[in-house]
Amino acid sequence: MKKRYRYKIEGIVQGVGFRPFVYQTALSNALFGYVLNDSNGVEVEVEGRLKDLKNFDATLHSHLPPLSRVDFIDKVELEPCGYIDFEIRKSGEKESKSTLISPDMSICDDCYRELKDTSNFRHNYFFINCTNCGPRYSIIKTVPYDRVNTSMSKFVMCKKCESEYKNPLDRRYHAQPISCADCGPELFLRSIKGDLIAKNFSAIEKLALLIQKGNIVAMKGMGGFHLICDASNDDVVSKLRERKNRPTKPFAVMFESIDDIKKNCHLSLSEEKMITSIQRPIVLVKKRLKQNLSSKIAPYIDRLGVFLAYTPLHVLLLEKLKNPIIATSANLSGEPIITDANELKSSLHGVVEYYLDYNREIVNASDDSVLQMIGERTLMMRSSRGFTPTSFRYESGQKKHILAVGAHQKNSIALYLNNQIILSPYIGDLDSIKSCEFFERTLEVFKRLYDFSPEVIVCDKHPNYFTTNWAKKQGVELFQVQHHYAHILSCMFEHNIDREVLGVAWDGTGYGDDSTIWGGEFFVCDRKSYKRVAYFEPFSLLGGDRSIKDIKRVALSMIFDLEKDDNGDSFEEFKKLFEPSEISLLKQMYQKNINSPKCSSVGRIFDAVAVFSGVCQSVTYDGESGLIIESLYDENIKDCYEIYLDGEVIRYKHIFKEMAKDKNPTLIATKFINSLVDIFFKITQKYDLDIVISGGVFQNRTLLERLLKKSKNIYFPHKIPINDGGIAIGQLYAYM
């Protein structure tokens, strides 16, 4: 007896070889019907014997294509209609769009082998790809994901490519970026003035020679331009720092092979697995004492951001160089990654001398993703290429389209529609006009992809955030969520926690309910409410935001607080970091509370510790003091400073007197981290609740590992960034 079933399948099922997978599965089970893409996912009808239909169903659930993900299947039985074959039909049109967009993926093993195969007609072809790899998000304009809706639409396939594209049994069936040297995009190597030097493979060869000679170049990657130079050359790395005005912030290093990384870094098995994954993120790992890289790549810290070549273009370049390269986002400080050659020439003409461009448009920009491995678990720090757009199935009766606009720093946005929560790629700090414009462009991308028009906007409570002010102007329902509560909710969402927990949110900045700056918080909270049960004793940020870079002001604020109790003679040496007139001015600001907001941030306390330990007086990038303190940690030192809870207030300022006596930076750094672990458990042990942690301070791997070593009931985010990049998810969860 024959039966017929219709499947409505949602998830990442377009552009990942899902239709040919269904086609081949149906044929192998002697089933007839059709499969097609629509704006919600994939629709399938199959008709045949019950035994064969059961086999089809089992395969559909267990043997998916590598890049696909099924979130939801609606299966209904229909009357048999007498199909006589199985076909892949053209995409259907629907009124609403909710099919999920796949992130861009690195070159797969099959394409890599073909790239190296001299007998293959795509040998050394710099844009080789298939349904299991290559660009997705960066080239799509709207859904369904068909070639006409991508930036490949202007390239007419040659007969060889077209035959693969139309063959359901070929792995390039409907691979929308499919092309070859005869019909695909071209490469152009130019001087920064725009003079053409070379094209196509010759351009790669000449670019390699320019890098070997010590030039700083730009190369158009998958989601934007990279700035590239020789990672072993101290002089050229120094030149890059000077030109980019980036004194100490670490650069990421791209390698040709995992063996090359092992020569320079210590790798765990989980780190190696992540580095070689299809996502190819930047992974922070421990440096070896002896290495072949410039010491100026990541000064003063013991970590290095490493990643493997992830496009065929990068693979071919590194093959010519035989040397690792710095590959960092091409942008001005605080601005989004550059995707257009004209903008590159106008913005970075004093930084790079040559650039490699190609004539396929990057529709949607995306940066490289950054993460660490904590044992076998991922600690996401920047979620972008390879990981985002990130989507989560969330069954809800909510019918409204909801937009969460995230935080001001490390911004990402999130939207809810049709039982899906979607997190955008990393947007960045919204401190510049161009970054704010990028925020609005990214929102327009998702509006276009999903016909999305927000009926509710969720934002932070900070009155001066760009996102808050933007949200208030949109004329739709507005819902505001406290920053640190959103941090905890983002982790609760990821782990599907819907009960009361003890939330611990430690970061650098967040607007508190008392109009001060929070950042060292303990909450008893659930999905709908929170109560602040403990927090670090506040201090004054002398000069407001200026003290975030000039961190010796944070230390001076602590000294002023301590001088209320005694004469502060212990700190006369520290005061020499300031001119007497500056001390006088800052003291007046402190006493009269002029531009000196109160702050309870653990991130800022790390800044003060860095000053008291003598390792730095100012910072040039977010989290720098924490990285330096972490690199000084000595696991053989078990001592800690005595931090204690006084009611709801965590008292710690007295420890700076001990630091002044300890003097040794390693001793100070180690005892301080140990003291944070100690107070964490003194407080958490008061509550019979699971512990949920989030916030940028927990990017400190040493601190996090010691917390996890002492307790197994601590939840932290893995897929969602633990820093402000995950705030939008928490905002959405608060509203739902």
pLDDT digits (tens, 9 = 90+) for 548-565: 999 999 999 999 999 887
The predicted pLDDT at position 93 comes to 61
Between 570 and 107, name the one with better pLDDT.
107
Sign, CA torsion 469/470/472/478: negative
In the predicted structure, residue 566 carries a pLDDT above the cut 80: no
Q: Can you list the domains of the chain with their CATH numbers?
A: 2-88 (3.30.70.100), 187-358 (3.90.870.10), 372-496+720-735 (3.30.420.360), 536-715 (3.30.420.40)
Tens-digit pLDDT profile for residues 71-124: 999 999 999 999 999 999 987 665 567 778 899 999 999 999 999 999 999 999
CB 16 within 8 A of CB 102: yes
* Bridge partner residues of 379 (DSSP): 372
Strand arrangement of the beta sheet that strand 402-404 belongs to: 390-393, 420-423, 414-417, 402-404, 456-460, 477-481
The predicted pLDDT at position 222 comes to 96
Tens-digit pLDDT profile for residues 673-687: 999 999 999 999 999
Residue whose pair of structure tokens reads 């917390």 in the numeric block: 707
Which stretch of DSSP H or E encloses residue 201? Answer: helix 200-212
599 pLDDT band, cuts 50/70/90, is very high
List for the chain the helix, strand, coil content (%; round to 5).
35, 25, 45
Alpha helices in 503-601 (DSSP H): 546-549, 552-562, 572-575, 580-592
Taking alpha carbons only, the member of 540, 515, 683, 524 closest to residue 604 is 540
Rounded percentage of the chain residues whose pLDDT exceeds 70: 99
In the predicted structure, residue 568 carries a pLDDT above the cut 70: no
> Between vectors from CA 246 to CA 240 and to CA 251, what angle results, nearest 5°?
70
* Phi-psi region at 325: left, alpha or beta (left = phi > 0; alpha = psi -120 to 50): beta
In the predicted structure, residue 39 carries a pLDDT above the cut 80: no
Tens-digit pLDDT profile for residues 470-479: 999 999 999 9
Tens-digit pLDDT profile for residues 665-715: 999 999 999 999 999 999 999 999 999 999 999 999 999 999 999 998 899
DSSP state of 102: P
Residue 727: φ, ψ to 5°:
-60, -40
Between 459 and 15, name the one with better pLDDT.
459
pLDDT (average), residues 627-636 = 96
Which is it for strands 217-220 and 225-230: parallel, antiparallel or unpaired? antiparallel
CB 324 within 8 A of CB 251: no
3-state SS assignment for residue 123: coil
CB 331 within 8 A of CB 390: no
Within 10 A of 304 (CB to CB), how many other CB atoms are there?
24
Residue whose pair of structure tokens reads 């400073």 in the numeric block: 641
In the predicted structure, residue 223 carries a pLDDT above the cut 80: yes
Residue type, 646: D
Q: Which two tokens stand for residue 702?
A: 């040493």
> Among 47-61, 88-102, 333-347, 360-374, whose mean pLDDT is lowest?
88-102
The predicted pLDDT at position 151 comes to 97
Within 10 A of 66 (CB to CB), how many other CB atoms are there?
12
Residue 643 neighbours by CB under 8 Å, 6+ apart: 650, 651, 652, 655, 675, 676, 678, 679
144 pLDDT band, cuts 50/70/90, is confident
CB 189 within 8 A of CB 313: no
In the predicted structure, residue 510 carries a pLDDT above the cut 90: yes
In the predicted structure, residue 570 carries a pLDDT above the cut 90: no
Radius of gyration of the chain (CA): 27
pLDDT (average), residues 443-465 = 95
The predicted pLDDT at position 198 comes to 98
Taking alpha carbons only, the member of 581, 559, 577 closest to residue 657 is 559
Query: How far apart, in whole angstroms, are the C-alpha atoms of residue 261 and residue 291?
Result: 10
Query: How far apart, in whole angstroms, are the C-alpha atoms of residue 480 and residue 468?
Result: 8
CB 520 within 8 A of CB 535: yes
The predicted pLDDT at position 699 comes to 97
pLDDT (average), residues 522-539 = 97
Residue 263 neighbours by CB under 8 Å, 6+ apart: 288, 291, 292
User: What pTM, to 2 d.p., does this model score?
Assistant: 0.95
Residue type, 651: R
CB 595 within 8 A of CB 557: no
The predicted pLDDT at position 569 comes to 63
The predicted pLDDT at position 90 comes to 83
3-state SS assignment for residue 415: strand
The predicted pLDDT at position 360 comes to 97
- For the chain, the average pLDDT equals 95
Query: How far apart, in whole angstroms, are the C-alpha atoms of residue 105 and residue 125?
Result: 17
Residue whose pair of structure tokens reads 């007295």 in the numeric block: 654
333 pLDDT band, cuts 50/70/90, is confident
CB 256 within 8 A of CB 309: yes
Which stretch of DSSP H or E encloses residue 692? Answer: strand 691-694
